[in-house]
Amino acid sequence: MIDVALLGIIRRWYIRDRISIREISRRLDISRNTVRRYIRSGAIEPSYPSRQSSSALDEFAPRLSAWLSAEAVKSRKQRRTLKQMFLDLRELGYEGSYDRVAAFGRQWKVGQMERVNSASKSTR
C-alpha cells in the first residue's frame, strides 16, 4: 500500500509541476503503472481494515456457545431464550449489554446453518 506522503508527492509533481509519469516513476523508483494508478485514483486517504477490538463477551463466549449448542437439540418450547441466557451470564459476572449477546447468537446461528449446508452438499 502506498503511503499518503508519497501519494501527495506523485500528485503534486504530476498536476502542479507537470512532470511526466515516466519521470515520476524514474525518480521514485516505482512502476509507471503504479504511478498511473495512483494519479487516476480519486482516493486521497488510504483505507485501512476495520480494527478488531476485544469484547466483554469474549471471556464468556465458549460458555455461551456451549449453551446454544445444548439448547439447539431441545424442542422449541423447551429452549431458553437469549434473554434468559443473558441473565444467566449476568449472574456469572458478565457486564456487557444484551445486544452483544444477541449479536453473538445471530453469528452462532449463521455458523451452524453454514455447517449444515456444507455438510449436506458434501454428502450429495
Which pLDDT tens digit goes with each residue over 17-75?
999 999 999 999 999 998 998 888 766 665 667 777 888 899 999 999 999 999 999 99
* pLDDT mean over 8-14: 89
Output the nine-digit C-alpha cell for 68: 446454544
Say yes or no: 67 and 99 in one domain.
Answer: yes
Each residue of 72-94: pLDDT tens digit? 999 999 999 999 999 999 999 99
DSSP string, 66-121: HHHHHHHTS-GGGPPPHHHHHHHHHHTT--S-HHHHHHHHHHHHHHHHHHHHHHHH
Domain of residue 29, residue span: 4-40
Say yes or no: 70 and 109 in one domain.
Answer: yes
Question: Does residue 68 belong to any structural domain of this protein?
Answer: yes
Question: Does residue 55 belong to any structural domain of this protein?
Answer: no
CB atoms within 10 A of CB 105: 19
Q: What is the CA radius of gyration of the chain?
A: 26
Question: Does residue 76 belong to any structural domain of this protein?
Answer: yes
Question: Does residue 8 belong to any structural domain of this protein?
Answer: yes
Output the nine-digit C-alpha cell for 37: 494508478
CA angle at 13 for the pair 9 and 19, rounded to the nearest 5°: 145
Q: Is the pLDDT of residue 119 over 80?
A: no
Say yes or no: 71 and 102 in one domain.
Answer: yes
The span from the CA of 33 to the CA of 105, in Å, is 46
Say yes or no: 72 and 117 in one domain.
Answer: yes
Q: Is the pLDDT of residue 3 over 80?
A: no
